[in-house]
A and B are shown apart, each in its own frame.
Chain A
Amino acid sequence: MTRKLPNTIRRNGPALAAAAVLLAVWQAVCSVGLVPGYMLPSPIEVASALVKDWPALWENAQITLQEAFYGLALGVAIGFVFAVLMDAFDVLYRAFYPILVITQTIPTVAIAPLLVLWFGYEMTPKIILIILVTFFPVTVGLLDGFRAVDPDAVGLLRSMGAGRWQIFRYLKCPSALPHFFSGLRIAAAYSVVGAVISEWLGGFGGLGVYMTRVKKAYAFDKMFAVIILISVISLALMALVELAERRCMPYRHLREKS
């Protein structure tokens, strides 16, 4: 029998290898000069831009993170309230679900300038935009979760004398947790992207503003650096959600532990 590699390496090995190959190809393309250096900076140049520009990047990232955090927190809270109300009152579900779906078909870049005109260049329009893009996945996730509850389980709790609130607390809410977290993961990713887009369209600080600034200067290496930073922040947020998920639902990860 061959010796087993640690699980994480075995699972993520192919992805890491593929990423390494892509980076190598990118570096080679730049070194050989297939693409002019001012249009496509090499990975090494991008890395050095990231390091050199770090103070400015970090300062702007903090603003973006703050917006994303407030927007996400409010979006999740609003999404939760919507889901609970729409689950409790079928009329509300039928009245508002189609409208909610329609709000999601409006492109973010189209409403962001409007929000700037209405609410100015400060944080408010950004947070509103993030709320608009994050509450929906949370609401839909929770609604799916509430609706997937086994009617027999509801019957059982009712037969044991449970009222509506108790059924919500002991059955619906915890049963919807996995659905909630899949919604939250998407919402977390959207929140960063939403913050950046709204900063593009007007603001005094944040990674989006920084991006427009370096774009005007044709600083491609800095462009790439900020793009990478945004991805890393999104990934980190998603990892945080995943961590919270494992904390809240230990029973879903039993097999991996033993």
Chain B
Amino acid sequence: MEKLEVRHVSKAFDGRSVLEDVSLTLREGELVCLLGVSGGGKSTLFNIISGLLKPDAGQVFLDGEEVTGKPGKISYMLQKDLLLPYRTIVDNVALPLLLRGVSKQEARQQASALFEEFGLEGTQTLWPSQLSGGMRQRAALLRTYLFSQNVALLDEPFSALDTLTKSAVHEWYLAVMERIRLSTLFITHDIDEAILLSDRIYLLTGQPGRICDEIRITQPKPRPHDFNLTPEFLVYKRAILERL
């Protein structure tokens, strides 16, 4: 079933077209990647999906219900974790529940219950500045998850992490996504990351942004550790490089 659907979305800023007739779908449990040049309108598309921006044309559907221009349905996560420095980790993570009107105690309890799943056990009462970059991203992810249990929009979520942390986080993310049945739409500049993680990749060309191709990565999951050294991987990579 389609979790999320974007239909024929266009957007212009001051008469300059940034997105043109963009359509995409995200099915349940899928990890779909949006790969494209800088300035191609990817973040703008996320702002439209999350309802922060109204598109000039087109619609967004979540579970078949139209949510175009309605914030509060789908949240997203950015490269910067945006953890609030004046709230402890548990209070940061529980924020979406508080915003929804859940009581403080109840929100803390619900959030705490997921700390172990997200590799955050024991960090409840710490401040964000006391966590490592990888942990902060996981906390931000848990916050996103507590907001919308089944769709995550991630805008270059791991690009600030160093290579080793990044590949550990990738592995962890795929595992946790599987367990909590999360569907993910995510933006990256990193072609390797896209091929490693995705079920499908949408290629976006810039100025104005439009989807020029969709690539399906058929390699089953979980993928072997050395997948990025295999000839199949290189075939995908070459195909993507040719098209961008």
Contacts and interface: CB of A to CB of B under 8 A. Distances in A.
Contact of B84 (A160, A166, A174): A174
A150 B82 contact: yes
B96 interface: yes
A159 B51 contact: yes
A254 interface: yes
A160 B147 contact: yes
Nearest to A153: B82
A74 B95 CA distance: 33
Q: Output the residue of B52, B84, B100 with the most chain A CB within 10 A.
A: B84
Interface stretch (B27-35, B71-79, B162-170, B193-201): B71-79
A102 to B, nearest CB: 34
A174 B99 CA distance: 16
B127 A162 contact: no
B129 interface: yes
B86 A174 contact: yes
Interface string A228-258: 0000000000000000000001110010000
B71 A161 contact: yes
B75 A160 contact: yes
Contacts of B128: 251
Contacts of A250: 127
Given A177-B86, A249-B86, A156 B75 contact: yes
A174 B98 CA distance: 16
B119 interface: no
Contact of B99 (A153, A157, A175, A249): A157
Given A150-B82, A175-B86, A161 B127 contact: no
Contacts of A177: 86
Contact of B71 (A159, A171, A251): A159
Interface in B80-128: 80, 82, 84-87, 95-96, 98-100, 127-128
A158 B71 contact: yes
B132 to A, nearest CB: 15
A158 B46 CA distance: 13
Contacts of B127: 250-251, 254
Contacts of A157: 95, 99
Q: Classify chain A: how many residues form its interface, as a range.
A: 20 to 34
A163 B130 CA distance: 30
A161 B86 CA distance: 21
Contacts of B78: 152, 156
A155 interface: yes
Contacts of A150: 82
Interface string B44-55: 000100111000
Contacts of B72: 158-162
A159 B80 contact: no
A138 B47 CA distance: 35
A226 B71 CA distance: 61
Contacts of A161: 71-73, 96, 99-100
A250 B85 CA distance: 10
A250 B76 CA distance: 29
Given A161-B72, A162-B99, A166-B99, A254 B130 contact: yes
B85 A251 contact: yes
9 contacts: A150-B82, A156-B76, A159-B52, A159-B72, A160-B72, A161-B73, A161-B99, A177-B86, A254-B130
Given A159-B75, A251-B86, 15 more contacts: A152-B82, A155-B47, A156-B75, A156-B82, A158-B71, A159-B50, A159-B51, A159-B72, A160-B72, A160-B95, A162-B72, A170-B98, A174-B84, A251-B127, A251-B129
